[in-house]
Amino acid sequence: MNKINNQWETVIGLEIHVQLSTNSKLFSGASTNFGALPNTQACNVDLAMPGVLPVLNEEVLKMAVKLGIALNARINSPTSFARKNYFYPDSPKGYQISQMDSPIVEGGHLDIELEDGSIKRIGVTRAHLEEDAGKSLHEDFEGQSGIDLNRAGTPLIEIVSEPEISSASEAVAYLKSIHSIIRYLNISDGNMAEGSMRCDANVSVRKRGEGELGTRTETKNVNSFRFVEKAINYEVNRQINVLESGGRITQETRLYDSQANTTRPMRSKEFANDYRYFPEPDLLPVILEKGFIDSIKKEMPELPEEKKNRFTQDYKLSEYDSGLLSADKDLADFFEEAVKISNSSKLTANWIMGEFLAELNKDNLPISDSKVSAKQLGTLISRIEDSTISGKIAKDVFEKMWESSKGPDQIIAEQGLEQVTDDKEIESMIDEVIKNNPEQLQQYQSGKDRLFGFFVGQVMKASQGKANPKQVNDILKSKLEK
Partner 1 sequence: MSLSDKELQEIAYLARINIDKKNFPDLKAELDQILSLFNKLNLADTDNVEAMSHPLNLSQPTRKDEVTETNEREKMQGNAPLVQSGLFLVPKVIEGDN
Partner 2 sequence: MNLDELTLKEQLNGLKDSSFSSVELTEVYLKRINQLDASINSYITVTEDSALEQAKESDKRYKRNEPLLLDGIPIAHKDIFCTEDVLTTCGSKMLSNFKAPYSSTVVSKFKNDGIVMLGKTNMDEFAMGSSNETSYFGPVKNPWNLEYVPGGSSGGSAACVSARLASAATATDTGGSIRQPAALCGLTGIKPTYGRVSRYGMIAFASSLDQGGVLTRTAEDAALMMNTMSGHDHRDSTSLNVEVPDYSKAIEEDISGLRIGLPKEFFEQDMPDYIRNATEDAIKVYKDLGAEFQEISFPNIGLSLPVYYVLAPAECSANLSRYDGVRYGYRCENPKNLEDLYMRTRDEGFGPEVKRRILIGTYALSAGYYDAYYLKAQKCRRLVANDFTEAFKSVDVILSPTTPGTSFKTGEKTSDPIEMYLQDIFTIPANLAGLPGISFPCGQNNNLPIGLQLVGNSLQEGKLLMAAHKFQQVTDWHKEMPNL
* Binding interface with partner 1 (CB under 8 A): 22-24, 28-31, 37-45, 47, 49, 55-61, 78, 80, 85, 87-91, 133, 135-138, 140-141, 143-149, 220-221, 255, 266-269, 271-272, 274, 276, 279, 281, 283-287
Considering CB distances under 5 to 8 angstroms, the limit depending on partner class, which of partner 2, partner 1, none binds residue 31?
partner 1
Query: CB of residue 230 vs partner 2: minimum separation in angstroms?
Result: 31
Q: Between 15 and 425, whose beta carbon lies closer to partner 1?
A: 15
Of 93-101, 183-191, 193-201, 460-468, the window that binds partner 2 (rule: CB under 8 A) is 93-101
Show Cβ contacts of residue 171 under 8 Å, excluding neighbours closer than 6 positions: 12, 14, 165, 201, 228, 229, 232
Q: Between 149 and 372, whose beta carbon lies closer to partner 2?
A: 149
Asked whether the bond before 38 is cis by omega within 30 degrees of 0, the reply is: no
Residue 92 in the binding site for partner 2 (CB under 8 A):
yes
Q: Between 90 and 162, whose beta carbon lies closer to partner 1?
A: 90
Of 41-49, 237-245, 257-265, 447-455, the window that binds partner 2 (rule: CB under 8 A) is 41-49
Of 158-166, 282-290, 328-336, 355-363, the window that binds partner 2 (rule: CB under 8 A) is 282-290
Q: Is 52 exposed, middle or buried (0-12, 13-18, 19+ CB in 10 A)?
A: middle
Show Cβ contacts of residue 280 under 8 Å, excluding neighbours closer than 6 positions: 54, 80, 81, 82, 83, 97
Q: Between 244 and 274, whose beta carbon lies closer to partner 2?
A: 274
Handedness of CA 259, 261, 263, 264 (dihedral sign): negative
Query: CB of residue 118 vs partner 2: minimum separation in angstroms?
Result: 42
Which of 78, 89, 391, 457 forms a contact with partner 2 (CB under 8 A)? 89
Residue 53 in the binding site for partner 2 (CB under 8 A):
yes
The answer to whether the beta carbons of residues 91 and 148 sit under 8 Å apart is no
Closest CA to 63 of 32, 95, 96: 32
Considering CB distances under 5 to 8 angstroms, the limit depending on partner class, which of partner 1, partner 2, none binds residue 40?
partner 1
Query: CB of residue 221 vs partner 2: minimum separation in angstroms?
Result: 20
- Give the distance, in angstroms, between the CA of residue 25 and the centroid of all CA atoms in the same chain: 25
Which of 63, 64, 147, 380 forms a contact with partner 2 (CB under 8 A)? 147
By CB under 8 A, the count of residues binding partner 2 is 30
Considering CB distances under 5 to 8 angstroms, the limit depending on partner class, which of partner 2, partner 1, none binds residue 146?
partner 1
Distance CA 388, CA 391 (A): 10
Closest CA to 106 of 76, 80, 78: 76
Query: CB of residue 129 vs partner 2: minimum separation in angstroms?
Result: 15
Q: Between 286 and 393, whose beta carbon lies closer to partner 1?
A: 286
The answer to whether the beta carbons of residues 107 and 73 sit under 8 Å apart is yes
φ/ψ region of 35 (left if φ > 0, alpha if ψ in -120 to 50, else beta) reads left
Q: How far is CA 381 from CA 110, 280, 354, 377, 397, in A?
A: 37, 59, 13, 6, 11
Query: CB of residue 42 vs partner 1: minimum separation in angstroms?
Result: 7
The answer to whether the beta carbons of residues 198 and 183 sit under 8 Å apart is no
Q: Between 282 and 299, whose beta carbon lies closer to partner 2?
A: 282
For 426-461, b/e burial (b = at least 16 CB within 10 A) is bbebbeebbeebeebbeebeeeeeebeeebbebbbe
Question: Which residues inside 283-312 make contact with partner 2, applying CB under 8 A?
Answer: 283-284
Query: CB of residue 52 vs partner 2: minimum separation in angstroms?
Result: 7
Considering CB distances under 5 to 8 angstroms, the limit depending on partner class, which of partner 1, partner 2, none binds residue 285?
partner 1
Residue 151 in the binding site for partner 2 (CB under 8 A):
no
Binding mask of the shown chain, residues 241 to 280, with x at each position contacting partner 2 by CB under 8 A: ------------------------------x--x-xxx--
Neighbours of 320 (CB within 10 A): 11
Residues forming beta bridges with residue 310, ordered by sequence position: none
Q: Between 117 and 281, whose beta carbon lies closer to partner 2?
A: 281
Residue 135 in the binding site for partner 2 (CB under 8 A):
no
Closest CA to 287 of 8, 80, 457: 80
Of 51-59, 177-185, 212-220, 388-396, the window that binds partner 2 (rule: CB under 8 A) is 51-59
- Give the distance, in angstroms, between the CA of residue 63 and the centroid of all CA atoms in the same chain: 19
Q: Is 173 exposed, middle or buried (0-12, 13-18, 19+ CB in 10 A)?
A: buried
Residue 261 identity: N
Residue 153 in the binding site for partner 2 (CB under 8 A):
no
Considering CB distances under 5 to 8 angstroms, the limit depending on partner class, which of partner 1, partner 2, none binds residue 133?
partner 1
Which of 8, 95, 256, 311 forms a contact with partner 2 (CB under 8 A)? 95
Q: Between 244 and 294, whose beta carbon lies closer to partner 1?
A: 294
Residue 344 identity: S
Query: CB of residue 46 vs partner 1: minimum separation in angstroms?
Result: 8
The answer to whether the beta carbons of residues 263 and 257 sit under 8 Å apart is yes
The residues binding partner 2 (CB under 8 A) are 44, 47-56, 83, 85, 87, 89, 92-95, 147, 149, 271, 274, 276-278, 281-284
